[in-house]
Structure 1
Amino acid sequence: MKWGPLTYEDARALAEFWAEVEAEDRIGEIYGAEDVAEHLSSELIDLAAGTFAARDGDRIAAFGYLPVRQATEGGVHALRLWGGVHPAYRGRGLGRRIVDWAVDVAPMLGEKAFPGVAVEVHLGAHDTNPALAALAEGAGFAVVRTFAHMERSLSGGLPALRTPEGVRIATWSPEVDDGARNVRNESFRDHWGSVPHTPESWAGHITGSRNFRPESSFVALAGDRAVGVLMTHFFDAQSAHRGERQAWIQIVGTLREWRGKGVAGALIAHALDAFARQGYQSAGLGVDTDNPTGAVAVYERAGFAITERHKNYALSVPQGETGDEPGAAVHE
């Protein structure tokens, strides 16, 4: 077994890795080669220092991917670990090695991005994956939040289209993009774990993503001011696996002073109607189940129901010297 960093050329191998993981675990995580390539080319990842993979010949047996974030929150830089172990290689300690690597390298990555800021490593575990939860807890991580996926069919029973007085809903365009990003950043200030999008991260991960669907994304305007936003992505590999086209609502946000006036409900109703006309069969979104704005209830009123839950684990990492050089290839 050879260990070392990922490269841009690993996109197809990682897509095959995730297909085999999904066949075993059935957690709904499907990534095509182009999706993986987008992750590997992110401005937030240092491939040499922030990735670590075990290879058995041409096959990826396990990997870890640890990007920095575009900003910090509350004096903490939270780096989210993404990765997994191929089903054929489980039970050999590869997962623990990936987690230990992430904990070891996080202080160096964090210090480089935001000198002097405290560092945490985060990872998510689906409720259907008790082995990952046990791994996280065994490595000293603790549950800090619970998230859920919610979905609804678009075959009927869509919410009525009602727009608050003085508000109109416009399809996303470059002209309203700055306002959309501002609404997202302002409305997520009181959301746990959220950090503001810079123009670069917004363009790279939201509007510049290959998955972004501008015709299915909307901005609520009061006069010329953006007061609400709904941004939509479409994941073709995941939809092909599901056997239906699903519109994924990536962001829903309303300025604090406009909450409770029906802006979010209007955006969702407008979007669901548009999705159905655009040929989608279902819609999905992710939500913090402890969201202080009552988002779960808003989505339930729009016909969404929870289909999956996952816990977010976190570990504070002492700043100081790290262990082995992260990009060095080692063998097992």
Structure 2
Amino acid sequence: MALTTRDLAPADAAALAGLMRRIDADHPTGFCLGEPEARELMSGAESRFEGAFDGEHLVAFTAVMPGSPQSTGQRFILFGDVDPPRLREGIGTLMLSRALEAARAVHRQVAPDLSATYAATALAGRADQAGLLTSAGFVPTGHSVMMVADLARPVAVPEAPRGLVASSFDPAAAEELRLAHNTAFGDHPDRTPMGPDFWELFMVRAAHNRHHLAAVARDGAGRVAGYVFAHEYTVPQSGGSGPELHVPYVGTLPHHRRRGVATWLLTRVLGLAREAGYATASLSVDTANPTGALGVYERAGFRHLYQQDSYELAEPLLP
């Protein structure tokens, strides 16, 4: 039977979650969603999911996530994979080509006067994934590491840096935190500024958020100095049995760096997670992070699980 393709809707969440579980059982992806999370993400206006079907059976998917247009251009994140028994049938090539065309169509519509960058990842050591991306014109740009920490032992939390106090994530301050996040990550090599709509969906309203376990540092004037956010996914991101707290973002505002803010907040969150009954915590870090985050995480007890290699396809503005 010939494959068919179509956009995926929230009604396809169970099929997509099942496919992601089959893929993750074969190889880690760092993007394995349960049905509720898939439904929430597909309900957002910004992200676009497409599936390849053999009859009624979903055998591959792609996700296109546009970043907010910036003066330097617009950046897109592309995810996707194929059901392991259907690898080496050309399905990945088909779906990547379609995802790129979909992303280019969005770019032409919302930011035709800007350059575009399309970003994707491949599991380190998977020559098929790397070959798929390079054959489409992507070039390697860096690496990220999935890390996990065992929370069986008590977590020692250092004293707060002078003049700072910590609190949980307050949804009423969501926009302030979004702007602080974009500032904190402004000098990162793969920064993708968060737009208001996606931030509201992914970081505020989504069921995976654990706002009471997050930590936000503020100075004496009430300004954000740093933060550690907290999520919990149906499928533990490390591939373990859980329960697992996932740390999606750790950020320190530039003028508060090298004061121990990240270590203080991270250990605070890990301690709260342990008290709440979590067995492990996980996070992903870019090895080229300019703030030295990799060392912070290692000192906090995180160990390496696997590496993802980053790839980009840059398309400058045509004259």
Do both proteins adopt the same fold according to a TM-score greater than 0.5, normalized to the shorter chain? yes
Task: Please name the residue that 1:324 is paired with.
Answer: none
Percent of residue pairs identical: 26
Q: Any idea what the Cα deviations from partners look like across 1:238-276, whole Å, max 9, x if unmatched?
A: 379622211111111111111111111110121111111
Q: Distance in 1 between matches of 2:31 and 2:182?
A: 27
Deviations along 1:19-58, one digit per CA (max 9) or x if unpaired, are 221222244643211111122112212xxxx443321111
Residue range with higher mean Cα deviation, 177-186 or 115-124? 177-186
Say whether residues 1:153 and 2:150 are aligned partners: yes
Secondary structure at the counterpart of residue 66 of structure 1: strand
Deviation, 1:318, is 6.6
Structure 1 gap segments, 5+ residues each: 321-332
- In structure 1, the partner of 2:293 is 295
Q: Which residue of 2 aligns with 1:42?
A: 44
1:280-299 Cα offsets, whole Å, 9 max, x none, are 11111111100111111111
| TM-fit CA distance, 1:115 | 2.5
Supply the distance in 2 between the matched residues of 1:24 and 1:96 (Cα, whole angstroms). Answer: 19
Change over 3 Å in CA distance of 1:200–1:103 after alignment to 2: closer
Equivalent-residue separation in structure 2 for 1:304 and 1:107 (angstroms):
38
Verify the 8 A CA contact 1:149 1:287 in the aligned structure 2.
yes
Q: Give the Å deviation of 1:143.
A: 0.5
Q: Which residue of 2 is the match for residue 106 of structure 1?
A: 103
Partners in 1 of 2:68 and 2:316 — Cα distance? 21
Q: Is the 8 A contact 1:55 1:62 kept in 2?
A: yes
Q: CA deviation at 1:128?
A: 4.3
Partners of 2:295 and 2:131 in 1: how far apart? 31
Q: Which residue of 2 aligns with 1:244?
A: 242
State the match for 1:197 in structure 2. 194
Q: Is the Cα–Cα contact under 8 Å of residues 238 and 282 in structure 2 kept in the other structure?
A: no
On the 8 A contact 1:158/1:303 being kept in 2, the answer is no
Shift of 1:317: 3.7
Confirm whether residue 213 of structure 1 aligns to residue 215 of structure 2.
Answer: no
Q: Structure 2 residue aligned with 1:263, among 247, 261, 264?
A: 261
State the number of aligned residues. 315
Question: Structure 2: where are the runs of 5+ without partners?
Answer: none
Query: In structure 2, which of residues 4, 7, 10 is the aligned counterpart of residue 8 of structure 1?
Result: 10
Q: 2:85 aligned with 1:83, yes or no? A: no
Task: Find the counterpart in structure 2 of residue 326 from structure 1.
Answer: none
Whether 1:17 aligns to 2:14 is no
Q: Pairwise CA RMSD of aligned residues?
A: 2.1
What is the Cα deviation at residue 176 of structure 1?
4.2
The 8 Å contact of residues 29 and 238 in structure 1, kept in 2 or not, is answered as: no
**Which portions of structure 1, spanning 4 or more consecutive aligned residues, are displaced by more than 6 angstroms?**
none
